[in-house]
């Protein structure tokens, strides 16, 4: 015999979350069942809000609830450098390690032929257009220092070549094959400051 319909449905929906199996989903469902109604309403509202209120910034493609986002609006940042990152979560990590300096461009992935992800699936054309349109003198590519991150960096550098803009790559310090998200702030700061030309 299963749990009552609504409980079953919640367990089923929670099990779809990454890393949550049926056992954990059941535990969470009963936690919610025993929680105060205010909390449950607040939780479900905050889940809905990320779909209804969060969009991509029309300039840098970071996630935001206002457009342009607060980083793009920030006049104190260097307007001659764009730091290119794979994901919004990477931007957050860089920004926490090295706050208030760069403007960014979020690719929303990396080129990965095995998973069928090509340049046209990323915000690369938008980056090239942005560099064309504005007074950018340097593009710092801060994709991960692994195979996909490197080949994406070289692809972007190639696309930017005709524009006569300086293209740099974060320095190691971030271990080869390493993921930015698991790197400590000091190492990130060093790799941004010691960036090097890509060609």
44/27 Cα distance (integer angstroms) = 17
Asked if residue 169 lies in contact with residue 153, where contact means CB atoms within 8 angstroms, the answer is yes
Nearer to Zn ion, 67 or 184 (CB): 67
Is 188 a binding residue for Zn ion by CB under 5 A? The answer is: no
Is 69 a binding residue for Zn ion by CB under 5 A? The answer is: yes
Nearer to Zn ion, 68 or 173 (CB): 68
Figure out which of the listed residues 7, 72, 92, 117 binds Zn ion, where binding follows CB under 5 A.
72
Cα-only R_g, the chain = 21
62/86 Cα distance (integer angstroms) = 10
Nearer to Zn ion, 57 or 85 (CB): 57
Figure out which of the listed residues 10, 14, 25, 59 binds Zn ion, where binding follows CB under 5 A.
59
Is 91 a binding residue for Zn ion by CB under 5 A? The answer is: no
* Number of chain residues interacting with Zn ion (CB under 5 A): 6
Asked if residue 86 lies in contact with residue 181, where contact means CB atoms within 8 angstroms, the answer is no
Nearer to Zn ion, 14 or 57 (CB): 57
98/193 Cα distance (integer angstroms) = 9
Candidates 22-30, 35-43, 67-75, 138-146: pick the segment binding Zn ion (CB under 5 A).
Answer: 67-75
Instruction: Give 64: exposed, middle or buried? Use CB within 10 Å, 0-12, 13-18, 19+.
Output: buried
Interface contacts to Zn ion, rule CB under 5 A: 57, 59-60, 68-69, 72
């Amino acid at each position: 015999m299963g749990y009552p319909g609504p409980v079953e449905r919640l367990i089923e929906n929670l099990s779809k979350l990454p890393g949550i199996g049926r056992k954990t989903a059941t535990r969470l469902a009963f936690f919610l069942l025993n929680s105060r109604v205010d909390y449950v309403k607040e939780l479900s509202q905050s889940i809905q809000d990320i779909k209804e209120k969060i969009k991509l910034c029309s300039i840098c493609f970071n996630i935001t609830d206002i457009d342009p986002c607060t980083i793009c609006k920030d006049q104190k940042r260097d307007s001659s450098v764009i730091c290119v990152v794979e994901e919004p979560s990477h931007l957050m990590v860089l920004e926490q390690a090295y706050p208030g300096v760069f403007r960014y461009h979020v690719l929303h992935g990396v080129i990965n032929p095995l998973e069928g992800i090509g340049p046209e699936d990323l915000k690369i054309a938008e980056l090239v257009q942005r560099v064309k349109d504005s007074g950018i003198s340097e593009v710092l590519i801060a994709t991960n220092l692994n195979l996909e991150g490197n080949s994406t960096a070289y692809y972007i550098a190639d696309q930017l070549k005709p524009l006569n803009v300086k293209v740099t790559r974060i320095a190691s310090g971030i271990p080869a094959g390493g993921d930015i998200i698991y790197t400590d702030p000091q190492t990130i700061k060093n790799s941004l400051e010691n960036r090097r030309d890509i060609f």
